[in-house]
Amino acid sequence: MPHDFTVKVKFWIERKGVSILGPGRMAILEAIDRTGSLTEATKECNISFRKGWKLITEINEQLEQPVVISERGGTGGGGKTSLTEYGKKLIQQYKSIQKRLVAIALDPEIWVIKQ
């Protein structure tokens, strides 16, 4: 493969034809893990709170276990949103798959055109 090409890999995971995880959903999950707040995570990801809530709900509905849990705040509000252990493992698995796909795409042997 010529040296001026760059290989990019983008993938997502579907279940029964419905997207569960991809780059955007991974970004919101990672932001929730960092911030402990859906509000802060949506700000970080530059999406509306409503869209963030929709994405999280869709992920939770498609999987056997919840990935994200939310707790309502007290009298002053300030709820907490966090990843479950299952959610943290899901992120690790996604990153592992991504790393392997990128390694395959960057392997110069796959780009050799055999005559």
Write the pLDDT tens digit of every residue in 31-52. 999 999 999 999 999 999 999 9
Domains and CATH numbers, the chain: 13-111 (1.10.10.10)
Tokens encoding 50:
């409503």
Judge contact between 21 and 12, C-beta under 8 A. yes
What is the DSSP secondary structure assignment for residue 71, as one 8-state letter? Answer: E
Q: Which of 36-45, 86-95, 101-110 has the lowest mean pLDDT?
A: 101-110
CA dihedral 21→22→28→29, nearest 10 degrees, is: 40
Cα–Cα distance between 97 and 94 in angstroms, integer?
A: 5
Specify whether the CB–CB gap between 57 and 77 falls below 8 A. Answer: no
- Full-model pTM: 0.82
